[in-house]
Structure 1
Amino acid sequence: MLKQTIESLIKIPGAAQLLIILRGISQVVLINNALTGAVILFAIATVSIPLTIAAFVSSAIGTLTAYWGGADKNRIRNGLFGFNSVLTGMGLILYLSGPYKWIIALACAFITSFMTAALMRAMTPTGLPVLSIPFILITWMILLASYRLKAFTLTTELMPQNLSNWKLDISGSINWATGLFDGARQVFFLQNSVAGILILIGISIAGWKLGVYALLGNMAALATAYVLGAEHALIDNGLFGYNAVLAAVAIGSVYRNPHNKLAPLSAIIASCLTVLVISAVDSWLLPYGLPALTFPFVLSTWILLGARKTQMNF
């Protein structure tokens, strides 16, 4: 019945294009499912309408750019040229200020589609997926360019700091109940636990195992961060969980094959590894005032996927 309903909807003018845009949003969490994308878009809307618009329009821009460029139709249809543009558009809307931030954000969503295509080509010999590295590189480039180009103005939240003056503060309490969902919301830069619950529901719609891995990865990262003595405020805000959510879904399910008998263990290892990576990357980027974004997820996932080429059980 559901399949017949979807097939009927696709026949409506513009419906197929809408589904592709929604898949571009769902691919942020490595899922090819328009309904997941719709639920995530609704989750974003519960927090910010401007971010909702940025996500939808950015996905459309990335997808249309790939279509006009003659990219592979299956990749376009599956939303693979949309999700990096989604993250770039949303991220720059948040990290930039000034009257031109929307123009810059959407223009960079357009450029991100080119970066995605280029890296897909460059990384083909490695057998590793591009993941969200195009978003990371374009966003870092624009944020760094702000120190040399007047058109780009950073928000006051992104302030370069001297690492030698940094003091670790592990005071404060952690709300472990909401912490289970906060990692998922931070994938989309959101500050509302209800949005995190909705995103996890969206992930689970595509498969209950995906939802389990998302929760498992978040829990593993929170526990690791706490045991290793991370700042409680960062743990409480989900900033140690969002990379782990993505890594667990990627390693435990999306890129799993029948040879990976220890995939659940690999997913936990990847999730715990993101805690070490984000701590190191945050220290590295602190003097530049740059956010780590999803680089810990990308690096941890590449490490585990690369290891699988010689240690297939993982």
Structure 2
Amino acid sequence: MPLAEPEVVRRLESRQPSAYVLASLRGFGQVDLQPGLLTGVAILVALWVSGWQNGLFATLGTLIATATAYALAVERSGIASGLQGYAGCLTGIALVSSLGNHPATYVLTVFGAVMCTLLMAALGTLLKPYGLTPLTAPFCLVSGVMVVGAPSFSRVWHGDPASVASTTTGETGWTWTSLWHAFFNNISQVFLIDSWYVGLIMLVGLALAGLRVVLYAAAGSVLGIVAAWLLGAPTALIANGIYGYNAVLVAIALGAVFMANTPWNAAYALFGAAVSTGLTASLTSVFKTFGGHTFTWPFILTTWVVLAAVPLLPRLRRSG
């Protein structure tokens, strides 16, 4: 995830106690790897528009994770740019989507957000020698363990709430409506939400982060649709954004954040986005065997692999 510029961090920290609120707001944008305040606000608005439960649990997770980072004296530059809040945001949404709105879900969201901060530090230490960052791995690990283990505990599990993603496998045929719904749903499914208008608001937020960011997000969404269609994925799942959201994240990460802005890097970023689409299907089949969830693992694994390969590929170079 990108860090804020030093002067920006100093300016944020000079506005205590509002620094905590600003850091939390930036955490929402960091789910899409963007530290911009306006992007974070736009995404927060989109989350509340999608439903008060999504908005509430995303906010709770972000606030707790950010507060934990302050309490543990994590490096202030990372906190100020939202790097400690985004995993908690996704964890809150994942838990309420999987477990429903119950008292136990609030407790688990708080505990999960704290764990995300600890895992962020642990993974950051392990990955630093390789020039990699944790990305959304803390969220995937914490939420994955909690959701898989939930049915074993009667005070946590309350039946089988509506799934975040449709399990439809039939082919319904393409229409213009399903096509443009897929484009925007690929954006919203980054946050486990199936709603084209939420995706539209989030895309506007990404546009506020810069032209390069929104273009790669759009390109990743289109490529996710095309790659899934070429592979023969069910139309209904493509339209719901199930096969494209990881492509959106990979395209943003490689095209607009971690890689320099060159034609070779652009092609490499789009290649990675296409790979993540195929990987989504494979990992979904694996996780389904034990009741797990794919979440953003395809994005994480694809981004780690392609970034780790860059030092031995002379035509490609990292940003910075």
Q: 1:312 to 1:53 in 2, by over 3 A?
A: farther
Aligned residue number for residue 123 of structure 1? 127
Partners in 2 of 1:113 and 1:11 — Cα distance? 23
Aligned residue number for residue 169 of structure 1? 170
Q: 1:158 to 1:313 in 2, by over 3 A?
A: farther
* Alignment match of 1:100 (pick from 100, 104, 121): 104
Q: Is residue 255 from structure 1 mapped to residue 258 from structure 2 by the alignment?
A: yes
Aligned residue number for residue 235 of structure 2? 232
Aligned residue number for residue 163 of structure 1? none
Aligned residue number for residue 90 of structure 1? 93
Matched-pair contact (CA < 8 Å) for 2:12–2:22: no
Figure out how many residues of one structure are paired with residues of the other and give that number. 301
Query: Aligned-pair distance for 1:10?
Result: 8.4
Q: Is residue 203 from structure 1 mapped to residue 203 from structure 2 by the alignment?
A: no
**TM-score, scaled relative to structure 1:** 0.89
Partners in 2 of 1:265 and 1:290 — Cα distance? 32
Q: 1:8 to 1:142 in 2, by over 3 A?
A: closer
Report matched runs for 1:178-217 at 5 Å: 178-217=181-220
Q: Is residue 307 from structure 1 mapped to residue 309 from structure 2 by the alignment?
A: yes
Q: Is residue 16 from structure 1 mapped to residue 19 from structure 2 by the alignment?
A: yes
Helix, strand or coil for the counterpart of 2:191?
Answer: coil
Q: 1:8 to 1:257 in 2, by over 3 A?
A: closer
Structure 1 stretches of 5 or more lacking a match? Answer: 1-6, 160-165
Aligned residue number for residue 300 of structure 2? 298
Q: Which amino acid aligns with 2:114?
A: F
Q: 1:146 to 1:293 in 2, by over 3 A?
A: same
Partners in 1 of 2:153 and 2:18 — Cα distance? 41
Partners in 2 of 1:205 and 1:270 — Cα distance? 24
Query: Aligned-pair distance for 1:12?
Result: 6.6
Structure 2 stretches of 5 or more lacking a match? Answer: 1-9
Matched-pair contact (CA < 8 Å) for 1:182–1:193: yes
Partners in 2 of 1:232 and 1:285 — Cα distance? 21
Q: 1:59 to 1:270 in 2, by over 3 A?
A: same
Q: Is residue 44 from structure 1 mapped to residue 47 from structure 2 by the alignment?
A: yes
Aligned residue number for residue 64 of structure 1? 67
Helix, strand or coil for the counterpart of 2:112?
Answer: helix
Partners in 2 of 1:301 and 1:155 — Cα distance? 35
**TM-score, scaled relative to structure 2:** 0.88
Q: Which amino acid aligns with 1:192?
A: S
Q: 1:257 to 1:151 in 2, by over 3 A?
A: same
Query: Aligned-pair distance for 1:225?
Result: 0.4
Query: Aligned-pair distance for 1:301?
Result: 0.8
Aligned residue number for residue 132 of structure 1? 136
Partners in 2 of 1:146 and 1:202 — Cα distance? 34
Helix, strand or coil for the counterpart of 2:224?
Answer: helix
Matched-pair contact (CA < 8 Å) for 1:108–1:138: yes
Partners in 1 of 2:74 and 2:272 — Cα distance? 31
